[in-house]
Amino acid sequence: MRCEDAVEKGYLEVIGLIERLHRQFLEVVKAELDRLGIQDINNVQSLILYNIAGEEVTVGELTYRGYYLGSNVSYNLKKMVETGYLEQERSTHDRRTVRVRLSEKGKALREKMVAMFDRHTAKLADGALAAPKIEAANETLWALGRFWNEVLNSPAHAVRNDVRLRA
């Protein structure tokens, strides 16, 4: 097998694996919510909640960080306000901007998620995925992210986007 063929096969396998692992992780979070008897928030919403942490953020800030798509963030934040996990407040400077923060209910769920991640970390440290392997995986995934960023910002990609916009 040629080197390029091996790289292509490996690259396509990594893309599929990332997608599959993300879905599997969402199932792990869903199982934890089920175990805790929490049914008024879904796995994606609970991860958004986890990432908000102690901050006060807008939809735009969450989207800019690259965690979520804009329309999904708006919908999910609205649902979390309705179920009492988040509190919202309109900006005094720009009435179109709404800032959200964790409510007491949201903080309690976040603490439960922290406990879940702590359990996972303890199991990882004792098993086959100790720190060096996790660090190597992170380095590889960051490098892949930088590569995709370069592809997005390359002149060839900009031309293709320009052509699509004209069609």
In the predicted structure, residue 166 carries a pLDDT above the cut 50: no
Residue 117 lies inside a defined structural domain of this protein: no
Give the Cα separation of 13 and 155 in Å (integer).
27
In the predicted structure, residue 54 carries a pLDDT above the cut 70: yes
Q: What is the pLDDT of residue 129?
A: 83
Q: What is the pLDDT of residue 164?
A: 47
User: pLDDT tens across 12-49, in order?
Assistant: 999 999 999 999 999 999 999 999 999 999 999 999 99
Residue 148 lies inside a defined structural domain of this protein: no
Residue 28 lies inside a defined structural domain of this protein: yes
Do the Cβ atoms of 58 and 73 come closer than 8 Å? no
Handedness of CA 153, 154, 157, 161 (dihedral sign): positive
In terms of C-beta distances under 8 Å and separation of at least 24 residues, what long-range contacts does 47-52 make, across chains too?
48/73, 48/76, 48/77, 48/80, 49/80, 49/85, 49/86, 49/102, 49/106, 49/109, 49/110, 49/113, 50/110, 50/113, 50/114, 52/86, 52/100, 52/101, 52/102, 52/106
Q: How many CB atoms lie within 10 A of CB 82?
A: 10
Q: What is the pLDDT of residue 72?
A: 82
Residue 129 lies inside a defined structural domain of this protein: no
Residue 114 lies inside a defined structural domain of this protein: no
Helix residue spans in the chain (DSSP H): 3-35, 43-52, 59-64, 70-82, 104-126, 131-153, 155-166
C-alpha atoms less than 13 angstroms from C-alpha of 54 in its C-beta half-sphere:
2
- pLDDT band of residue 70 (cuts 50, 70, 90) is low
CA nearest to 58, candidates 116, 100, 117: 100
Question: What is the number of structural domains in the chain?
Answer: 1
User: pLDDT tens across 89-121, in order?
Assistant: 887 777 678 889 999 999 999 999 999 999 999
Range of the domain at 21: 3-103
Residue 115 lies inside a defined structural domain of this protein: no
For the chain, the first-to-last Cα distance in angstroms comes to 39
Give the Cα separation of 124 and 129 in Å (integer).
5
Residue 64 lies inside a defined structural domain of this protein: yes
User: pLDDT tens across 55-67, in order?
Assistant: 888 888 887 776 6
Residue 129 phi/psi, 5° resolution?
-115, 55
The CATH number linked to 54 is 1.10.10.10
Residue 76 lies inside a defined structural domain of this protein: yes
